[in-house]
């Protein structure tokens, strides 16, 4: 007998309306102790926002206050979901393939739950080797991003303000983070 997504999914995932501000999304995540919110309107899943998305918005859209940015504006356009009748094996395969640890569960176009890698591990620790492989792939990706970022930066004197520090090449100039923030 196979275990199905419906057997392990959270039936009442934490949601927000698509027009909710990022500030309010962040507050809700902290209050509910979750790493993501599903953006839902009238039962239909319209988006998905994670802590990483909010951090990205903080760094990329620093000219705006988080209370002025709607969650749907930074939600990924493509949402990877799964049906409740899928097996846990199918869910693990989809998580590994997409590198997502959370899958919204959709039935007949409506959100019915959320399945996370943690849900699977809490119920079935023997699946750990497969999910451990997924975690290793994710960690390797993070290491590669850190290496790439380190290659983009170096120590020296800012061409704009003259201060010494960690520099990045931006628009043909080598500048410090302070000068980069002012652009």
DSSP letter at 77 equals: S
More confident: 135 or 81: 81
Residues 158 and 75 in one domain: no
> How does the average pLDDT of the chain come out, rounded?
83
Query: 56: closest CA among 47, 69, 43?
Result: 69
Considering the domain architecture, whether residues 116 and 56 belong to the same structural domain is answered as yes
pLDDT given at position 112: 96
Long-range Cβ pairs for the range 116-120 (8 Å, 24+): 116/10, 119/8, 119/9, 119/10, 120/8, 120/88, 120/91, 120/92
Which stretches within 61-169 are classed as H helix? 71-74, 88-98, 117-123, 128-152
The answer as to whether 146 is a domain residue is: no
pLDDT for residue 62:
56
Structurally, how many domains does the chain consist of? 2
Looking at the fold, whether 11 and 51 belong to one and the same domain comes out as yes
What's the token pair of residue 144?
């590669």
Query: Would strands 110-116 and 102-107 be described as parallel, antiparallel, or unpaired?
Result: antiparallel
Residues 96 and 157 in one domain: no
* DSSP 8-state class, residue 143: H
Residue 76 and residue 104 in contact, taking contact as beta carbons nearer than 8 Å: no
Please state, for a pLDDT cut of 90, what percent of the chain lies above it.
Answer: 43
Residue-level pLDDT at 146: 62
| Co-location of 100 and 61 in the same domain | yes
| CA 132-138-140 angle, 5° bins | 105
Q: Is residue 140 part of a domain?
A: no
CATH of the domain at 56: 3.10.580.10
Residue 111 sits in the same domain as residue 165: no
Same domain? 90 vs 173:
no
| pLDDT reading at 64 higher than 90 | no
Mean pLDDT of 164-172: 77
For 161, the domain range is 151-182
Burial, 42: exposed, middle or buried (Cβ in 10 Å; 0-12, 13-18, 19+)?
exposed
Q: What is the mean pLDDT of residues 139-146?
A: 68
Which of 123, 141, 164 is a domain's end point? Answer: 123
Domain contains 177: yes
Segment 95-128, tens digit of pLDDT:
989 888 899 999 999 999 999 988 888 776 665 5
Tell me the mean pLDDT in the region 153-164. Answer: 80
- Residue located via tokens 């119920």: 123
Domain presence at residue 133? no
Q: What is the signed CA dihedral for 45, 48, 14, 6, rounded to 10 degrees?
A: 60
pLDDT tens-place string over residues 6-62: 999 999 999 999 999 999 999 999 999 998 999 999 999 999 999 988 988 888 765
Residue 141 lies in a domain: no
Same structural domain for residues 34 and 113? yes
In this predicted structure, what is the pLDDT of residue 119? 87
């Amino acid at each position: 007998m196979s275990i199905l997504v419906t057997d392990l999914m959270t039936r009442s995932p934490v949601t927000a309306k698509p027009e909710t501000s990022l500030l309010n999304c962040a507050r809700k995540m902290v209050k509910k102790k979750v790493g993501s919110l599903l953006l839902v309107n009238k039962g239909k899943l319209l988006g998905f926002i994670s802590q990483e998305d909010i951090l990205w918005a903080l760094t990329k859209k620093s000219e705006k206050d988080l209370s002025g940015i709607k969650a749907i504006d930074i939600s990924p356009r493509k949402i990877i979901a799964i049906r409740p009748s899928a097996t846990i094996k199918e869910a693990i395969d989809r998580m590994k393939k997409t590198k997502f640890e959370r899958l919204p569960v959709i039935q007949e176009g409506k959100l019915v739950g959320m399945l996370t890698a943690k849900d699977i591990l809490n119920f079935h620790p023997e699946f750990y080797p497969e999910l451990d492989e997924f975690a290793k792939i994710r960690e390797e990706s993070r290491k590669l991003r850190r290496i790439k970022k380190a290659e983009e930066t170096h120590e020296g004197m800012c061409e704009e303000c003259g201060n010494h520090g960690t520099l990045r090449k931006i628009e043909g100039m080598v500048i410090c983070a302070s000068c980069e923030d002012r652009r």
